[in-house]
């Protein structure tokens, strides 16, 4: 195995590692000399102390004396979840004034989609397909969080997620590597800015390295067994993009990969991350993931876990204390060298220097973070509007007019805590604007009855009132979905229908004959196959954050248009999962001409596979809604696709031109998408791969020409010899509104 890895390393280095210069950091060259000077003065204990990320409960009511003592001795390098500002100040004071070498601490926290002002969950942000929004949301998150002394966030989560059962899909950039690379870089830029030493910025942590989203069955923390080609072609690119953008830290994932836990995986942490990707920040473990190597069956005890993590090159340990308890002994036993430890300390100090902590260790007390500032709320609302995906709009029922009498029903209509979504430690429900609040503030043409108290509620006690108000209204706005706690870490679901008896309530409401607009707030795609026919329109709002109410009000009433596009394929049923648009063709690809549904099979049919292809008898071979899909309040037509040349060379760009016309009556924004297919490869290639996209705003009747350029670089993939190549041959190319539709052309490329 190791041999293959070495071979890989050499080939990848030779062939593809024209290493990018990383984002430049202020005073970087002088940092290295200062780091060495400091290192030469540090005791072994102090060095080990730097590798220690101590977690405390964010609800702690006092600062334990032994904790202060540990900092005083230089035994702690960083903290997570210290939210009491006096503790932050006191601990930092002790570190810089009383610890042996005055090395400052870093205070970290999961600031994932905002600090106080919450933006849509990351999957919702991904639905904006808008790097500027993502960058702005992270900049605001950094600004607010740094006002509370936090200079390190455990974000962005860059795990490709192909399985909506996985609770952490909510935190992911979705299923596509290209979209994830674009947004991944934007997150880093937003959190870190150009100068990490600015007191308004935070160090980012690209996580979870790596392939955490490939957990078998979408069950959190589960085993990952993955080919290295898949790892490199799908799961690695977003991390590369984040590192190229200067991500200060990387977090190792909980999962094992092909038998070796990520936290103890030397190949991944050293060969790939350091040597290939040239990462020069520090790697932090996930919460207890060092000690969890014992449960994995990879380490025999805490000491062995520490040894394996250290050998693998893990710089900092989160919460468990294998390093603190055993590194000294491991060094004395010569199992780990002082030089290995020195390298961890260098990586950690480098980030402390870049954060400017040696110059300005203390929280800037003038900087309040300006929580929920007007412009923060404005951006959060914009993000919620851009992230909302219109999935169905029968007879253009949406937008309604503000004069329409609506019945506001459903467990998420006024659920301020729930609409903030997973990882919303610091957002306060008192500051959350719900759809009901938005109506209350703006419009009197509504009646409200929850129908169900919460998403899992199974009591029908509220049905009657809900049905009554529905009967007296013109349109039913049903706000359903799942509570925040039903997605996120450790919250995978095997059945991803609307929980509780929401479907039953929708069925009852449908009997009134009033049109139903279903607004879903959830951390994942929710399977709605059972009830979609009972609805007239469906809006996916994800968990939209602090300003979700106003954003939805404006969309529903046509003040704004829904602008989101799906960053994941939307399944018909959980039994289809994992499902992703960029799958392989197989030897027996299914299409509409050969799909034989279950009810067409004769009784007592003769055993035969003939005529059957790679599909499910009951649900076929397509998702409910494809990747990239999203309707608007207008319609668009693609036309006149042309390419600059039918045959190009490897050093030439291909220019793809086409027109988009707004054929509807309203202005709107299309997200034009370009996909390619490498028809024949030395390894089989996906049926489609997203390579470019562009937001195009068009007035009614307006036509715009769109031009995309791609080059052989965009056609590259890692082959069976683990070499990155672009191969000669024919490529199909589509431009269109989603992964399932588009105008097709083709070109070929030669050396």
Residues binding ligand NOJ (CB under 6 A): 110, 154, 207, 286-287, 489
The sheet with strand 106-109 has its strands ordered as: 152-153, 106-109, 78-80, 52-55, 317-318
Tokens of 671: 């997200």
Q: What value, to the nearest 5°, has the Cα angle with vertex 570 and ends 565 and 574? A: 160
Q: What value, to the nearest 5°, has the Cα angle with vertex 442 and ends 438 and 444? A: 105
Nearer to ligand NOJ (CB atom), residue 169 or residue 466: 169
48-59 CB burial, b ≥16 within 10 A, e <16:
bbbbbbbbbeee
Nearer to ligand NOJ (CB atom), residue 154 or residue 479: 154
Task: Supply the DSSP string of 16-32, one letter for each residue.
Answer: H--PPPPPP-TTHHHHH
Q: From CA 332, how far away is CA 330, in angstroms rounded?
A: 5
Q: From CA 247, how far away is CA 263, in angstroms rounded?
A: 18
Least separation in angstroms between residue 220's CB and ligand NOJ is 9
Nearer to ligand NOJ (CB atom), residue 109 or residue 624: 109
DSSP category for residue 53: E
Cβ atoms of 118 and 546 within 8 Å: the answer is yes
Q: From CA 558, how far away is CA 426, in angstroms rounded?
A: 32
Least separation in angstroms between residue 145's CB and ligand NOJ is 14
Nearer to ligand NOJ (CB atom), residue 154 or residue 675: 154
Nearer to ligand NOJ (CB atom), residue 79 or residue 287: 287
Least separation in angstroms between residue 68's CB and ligand NOJ is 23
Radius of gyration of the chain (CA): 27
Nearer to ligand NOJ (CB atom), residue 487 or residue 512: 487
Least separation in angstroms between residue 650's CB and ligand NOJ is 40
- DSSP helix/strand/coil, 703: strand
Least separation in angstroms between residue 282's CB and ligand NOJ is 15
Least separation in angstroms between residue 615's CB and ligand NOJ is 35
Nearer to ligand NOJ (CB atom), residue 122 or residue 435: 122
Least separation in angstroms between residue 205's CB and ligand NOJ is 7
Q: Contacts by 5-10 with C-beta closer than 8 Å and gap 24+?
A: 5/267, 5/271, 6/271, 7/722, 8/228, 8/271, 8/722, 9/271, 9/275, 9/276
Residue 613: CB atoms within 10 Å: 16
Least separation in angstroms between residue 168's CB and ligand NOJ is 8
Nearer to ligand NOJ (CB atom), residue 112 or residue 245: 112
Nearer to ligand NOJ (CB atom), residue 286 or residue 689: 286
DSSP category for residue 428: -
Least separation in angstroms between residue 153's CB and ligand NOJ is 9
Nearest to 449 by CA among 459, 464, 460: 464
Least separation in angstroms between residue 733's CB and ligand NOJ is 37
Nearer to ligand NOJ (CB atom), residue 208 or residue 572: 208
Minimal CB distance to ligand NOJ: which residue? 154
Q: From CA 253, how far away is CA 161, in angstroms rounded?
A: 14
Q: What value, to the nearest 5°, has the Cα angle with vertex 634 and ends 633 and 635? A: 135
Which of 244, 286, 457, 536 is the catalytic position?
Answer: 286
Nearer to ligand NOJ (CB atom), residue 286 or residue 386: 286
β-sheet bridge partners, residue 108: 80, 152
Nearer to ligand NOJ (CB atom), residue 421 or residue 500: 421
Tokens of 118: 């919450």
Least separation in angstroms between residue 311's CB and ligand NOJ is 23
Burial class (CB in 10 A: 0-12, 13-18, 19+), 461: exposed
Least separation in angstroms between residue 87's CB and ligand NOJ is 18
Non-local (6+) Cβ contacts of 62 within 8 A are none
Least separation in angstroms between residue 285's CB and ligand NOJ is 10
Residue that the structure tokens 């991350």 belong to? 273
Phi and psi (nearest 5°) for 301? -160, -175
Cβ atoms of 181 and 187 within 8 Å: the answer is no
Tokens of 585: 């063709």
β-sheet bridge partners, residue 697: 669
Residue that the structure tokens 């092909």 belong to? 258
- DSSP helix/strand/coil, 44: helix
Task: Supply the DSSP string of 253-279, one letter for each residue.
Answer: -SSEETTEEGGG-HIIIIIIIIIIT--
Task: Supply the DSSP string of 520-534, one letter for each residue.
Answer: EE-SS--B-TTTGGG
User: Is the previous residue joined to 2 through a cis bond, with omega within 30 degrees of 0?
Assistant: no
Residue 733, Cα to own-chain centre: how many angstroms? 27
Nearer to ligand NOJ (CB atom), residue 88 or residue 540: 88
Tokens of 626: 């494809």
Non-local (6+) Cβ contacts of 200 within 8 A are 142, 143, 146, 193, 367
Tokens of 577: 């999962």
Q: From CA 548, how far away is CA 179, in angstroms rounded?
A: 24
- DSSP helix/strand/coil, 480: strand
Is 286 one of the annotated active-site residues of the chain? yes
408-427 CB burial, b ≥16 within 10 A, e <16:
bbbbbbbbbbbbbbbbbebb
- Active site residues per annotation: 286
């Amino acid at each position: 195995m190791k041999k293959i890895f070495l071979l890989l390393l050499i080939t990848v280095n030779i062939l593809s590692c024209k290493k990018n210069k990383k984002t430049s950091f202020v005073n970087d060259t002088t940092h290295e000399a200062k780091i060495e000077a400091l290192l030469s003065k540090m005791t072994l204990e102090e060095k080990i102390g730097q590798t220690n990320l101590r977690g405390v409960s964010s609800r702690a009511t006092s600062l334990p004396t032994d904790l202060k003592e540990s900092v005083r001795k230089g035994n702690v390098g960083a903290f997570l979840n210290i939210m009491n500002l006096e503790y932050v100040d006191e601990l930092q004071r002790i570190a810089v004034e009383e610890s042996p070498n005055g090395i400052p601490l870093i205070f970290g926290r999961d600031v994932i989609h905002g600090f106080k002002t919450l933006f849509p969950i990351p999957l919702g942000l991904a639905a904006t397909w808008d790097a500027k929004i993502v960058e702005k949301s992270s900049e605001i998150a950094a600004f607010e969080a740094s006002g509370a002394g936090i200079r390190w966030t455990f974000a962005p989560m860059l795990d490709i997620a192909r399985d909506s059962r996985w609770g952490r899909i909510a935190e992911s950039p979705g299923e596509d590597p290209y979209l994830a690379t674009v947004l991944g870089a934007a997150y880093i830029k937003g959190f870190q800015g150009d100068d990490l030493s600015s007191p308004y910025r935070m160090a980012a942590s690209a996580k979870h390295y790596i392939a955490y989203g490939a957990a078998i069955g979408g069950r959190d923390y589960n085993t990952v067994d993955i080919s290295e080609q898949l790892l490199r072609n799908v799961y690695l690119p977003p991390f590369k993009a984040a590192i190229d953008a200067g991500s200060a830290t990387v977090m190792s994932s909980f999962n094992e990969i092909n038998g070796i836990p990520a936290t103890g995986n030397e190949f991944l942490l050293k060969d790939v991350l350091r040597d290939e990707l040239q990462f020069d920040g520090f790697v932090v473990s996930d919460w207890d993931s060092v000690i969890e190597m014992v449960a994995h069956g990879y380490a025999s005890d805490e000491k062995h876990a520490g040894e394996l993590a250290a050998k693998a090159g893990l710089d900092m340990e989160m919460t468990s204390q294998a390093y603190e308890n055993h590194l000294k002994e491991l060094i004395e036993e010569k199992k780990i060298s002082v030089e290995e430890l020195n390298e961890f300390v260098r990586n950690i100090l480098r980030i402390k220097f870049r954060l400017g902590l040696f110059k300005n260790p203390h929280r800037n007390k003038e900087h309040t973070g300006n929580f929920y500032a007007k412009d923060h709320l404005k951006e959060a609302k914009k993000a919620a509007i851009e992230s909302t995906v219109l999935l169905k709009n029968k007879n253009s029922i949406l937008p309604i007019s503000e004069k329409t009498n609506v019945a506001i029903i459903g467990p998420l209509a006024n659920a301020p805590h729930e609409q903030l979504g997973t990882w919303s430690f610091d957002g306060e429900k008192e500051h959350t604007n719900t759809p009901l609040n938005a109506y209350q503030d703006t419009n009197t043409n509504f009646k409200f009855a929850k129908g169900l108290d919460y998403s899992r509620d199974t009591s029908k006690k509220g049905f009657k009132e809900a049905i009554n108000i529905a009967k007296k209204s013109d349109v039913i706005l049903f706000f359903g979905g799942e509570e925040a706690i039903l997605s996120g870490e450790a919250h995978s679901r095997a059945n991803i229908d609307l929980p509780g008896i929401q479907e039953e309530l929708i069925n009852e409401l449908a009997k009134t004959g009033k049109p139903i607009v279903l607004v879903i707030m959830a951390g994942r795609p929710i399977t709605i196959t059972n009830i979609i026919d009972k609805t007239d329109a469906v809006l996916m709002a994800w968990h939209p954050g602090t300003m979700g109410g106003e954003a939805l009000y404006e969309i529903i009433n046509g003040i704004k248009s829904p602008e989101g596009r799906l960053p994941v394929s939307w399944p018909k049923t959980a039994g289809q999962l994992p499902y992703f648009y960029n799958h392989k063709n197989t030897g027996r690809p299914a299409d509409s001409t050969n799909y034989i549904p279950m009810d067409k099979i004769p009784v007592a049919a003769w055993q035969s596979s003939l005529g059957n292809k790679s599909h499910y008898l009951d649900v076929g071979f397509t998702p409910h809604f494809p990747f990239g899909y999203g309707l608007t309040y207008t319609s668009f037509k693609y036309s006149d696709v042309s390419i600059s040349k039918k045959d190009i060379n490897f050093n030439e760009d291909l220019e793809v031109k086409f027109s988009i016309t707004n054929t509807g009556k309203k202005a709107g924004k299309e997200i034009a998408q370009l996909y390619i297919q490498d028809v024949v490869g030395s390894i089989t290639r996906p049926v489609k791969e997203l390579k470019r996209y562009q937001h195009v705003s068009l007035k009614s009747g307006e036509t715009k020409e769109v031009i995309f350029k791609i080059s052989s670089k965009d056609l590259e993939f890692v082959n069976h010899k683990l070499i990155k190549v672009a191969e000669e041959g024919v490529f199909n190319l589509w431009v269109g509104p989603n992964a399932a539709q588009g105008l097709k052309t083709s070109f070929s490329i030669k050396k």
